[in-house]
Amino acid sequence: MARVWHDSHHDEHARMLTEHAELLESSVSEQLGPLAGFLVRTLNRRGALTLRGLADAVKREPFGNPLSTGDAARHVGCPLAVSAVAGDVGTDAAIKELMARLVLHRVVWYDAERHVYGVALGYGLLLRTLFPLVMQFFQRRYGETGVTLLMVFHQLAMVPWEAALRLAMERRPALSEALRHCGREMERLGFIEFVSAGKSVEVAVTATPTATLSPDPCRLHVGNILAEMLHDAIQHQLLAERFADGGVAAAVMEAFATLGRGRRLEERSPMFPPVHPRASVSLPLRVLLREVPLAESAVMATVSRMCRPDGDSLLSNDGTATVAIEGPYRFRYDAAIDAMRRDCCERLVFARHGVLGVRLMKLLLQHHNMEDRMLAEEAIATLPRTREVLHAMLRDGYVRQQEVPKSGVMADRQPKNSVFLWGCSLEKDLLPVVRMQVAKALRLTLARLSLERQAAASQAASFTAAAATAGGAIPAAASKVATSEAAAGVRRPTGEATAEALRPQRAVAALESSALALMGTMLVLDFY
């Protein structure tokens, strides 16, 4: 029998959800207003509620309540369909309007049978917090036309397809034909789903000529968009780094992806979008060679390596053919996702505990349980330094310590009669802690970014006003010497002011880069 020693943390799953919930609350408050964020916060704290229960809970909340600062109607941003917008009537109308908007944007779900509302954590985070990554994906694939169409759905959430195209063309008249072509491509890949009016079921769009003639409203199909973003991430984040000729490996993966498009996605928690199937369709080697227009020897060498552990076992060989090499083969998306998640964990451990921390983590993931002396020997480090890093990683929750008695008798034993083993599990130890830390870091980074943007805007406005005032202060009839001296006097403070104005802009650029990196990490850890 063994005893496992953990750091004094609460349940990691609950803590992880708390950090993600706070991140969503801050994003909704920033984008949809403080009252919308407060409604999401109330649902996160109290669970699913009816509209009346939610309104009562919000009114009773004494701390940080936006309703205590004035009229509720100003939080909605549109006229309310009530005769009096003051008092409880206006408050109830504002809450009802905002809840309808949150349901439309898939931040909140609604159960028609029980008449209760709850937070759709995964959908909300992806469509509100991580939306810049979706924009980047559409920008790379479709350019400005794709971003224009995407923003129509981001702003309106649900709109008839022809109306969405018309709005996009009104915004970019010069791209009308390109927008129609982009729309057809989005339909082909299933990026759009139609929602039948008066029904709770959703019907994904099919690539038929009559699909765009449907009068039903449509919205973004988050699951299919995530599947294509997964293919993109595997190609750029995994294959390009693991394989010297990443183009061949990417072509092999694209062959599996092309033949597997349209497959049913796997459902998971109702709060999160569906995920890509864990393995692709199976392809015999002859079909794979036909689909990949590259040299057969290069394809064979890449396929062979992708089947081995040094290639992360990205391909599996079913071995049903007479000759094993003939396949059929499957692309293992689960292995690719695990490899990308390990990379994310390694980067975070490296940032906190350096190279030795990464070595210890890899050793423990490979061997599961090891003594500190053996770890120090394998990691080529001194025993005191190894113990120091291990205890620091224990405090962070990356590793665990297990006490194993030498004699097997648990009662009245001395520490010298026990062996203390260090262990680490990707699913139980690393991923929950890393997910929590990334969500917290992203929330703090976005909050700091908002403040720095405000400071940069204020600094730019004051700099413009100061430059205009200084320029007007030079007398028009001054002598050449006086004018040159005055101009020099203006240039000196203007140069200093310019340098001062650039500091907030540099801070904004650095924080934007950090936020995008954290968003990409969260996408790999939580959504693939």
**Three-state DSSP state, 195:** strand
- Closest by CA position to 404, among listed 390, 416, 420, 392: 420
pTM of the model: 0.83
What pLDDT digit, counting tens, does each position of 344-393 carry? 999 999 999 999 999 999 999 998 889 999 999 999 999 999 999 999 99
The pLDDT of 452-468, averaged and rounded, is: 76
Confidence of residue 458 (pLDDT cuts 50, 70, 90): confident
Residues above pLDDT 90, as percent of the chain: 45
pLDDT value at residue 6: 40
What pLDDT digit, counting tens, does each position of 478-505 carry? 444 445 544 444 454 566 666 776 788 8
pLDDT value at residue 419: 82
| DSSP character string of 250-297 | HHHHHHHHHHHTTPPPBP--TTS--B--SB---B-HHHHHHHS-S-HH
Give the residue carrying structure tokens 């993600």: 20
The pLDDT of 514-525, averaged and rounded, is: 95
pLDDT value at residue 10: 39
115: left (phi over 0), alpha (psi -120 to 50) or beta: left
- Least confident segment among 246-250, 272-276, 466-470: 466-470
| Whole-number average pLDDT of the chain | 82
In the chain the first and final C-alpha atoms are separated, in Å, by 37
Does 77 have pLDDT greater than 50? yes
- Least confident segment among 50-64, 73-87, 178-192: 73-87
Q: Give 368's Cβ-side CA count (13 Å radius).
A: 0
Residue 426 DSSP symbol: I
The pLDDT of 75-83, averaged and rounded, is: 51
- Whole-Å CA distances, 381 to 346, 359, 377, 396, 423: 18, 10, 7, 21, 18
Q: In this predicted model, which residue has the larger pLDDT, 141 or 79?
A: 141
Question: Which amino acid, residue 214?
Answer: S
What pLDDT digit, counting tens, does each position of 309-354 carry? 877 888 988 755 445 567 688 999 999 999 999 999 999 999 999 9
What pLDDT digit, counting tens, does each position of 356-365 carry? 999 999 999 9
Confidence of residue 83 (pLDDT cuts 50, 70, 90): very low
- Quote the Cα angle for 67-70-74, to 5°: 85
Torsion of CA 181, 187, 189, 191, to 10 degrees: 110
Name which CATH class applies to 338-424: mainly alpha
pLDDT value at residue 311: 72
Residue 513 DSSP symbol: H
User: Is the peptide bond prior to 173 cis by the omega test (within 30 degrees of 0)?
Assistant: no
Confidence of residue 209 (pLDDT cuts 50, 70, 90): very low
Q: In this predicted model, which residue has the larger pLDDT, 43 or 276?
A: 43
Q: In this predicted model, which residue has the larger pLDDT, 476 or 401?
A: 401
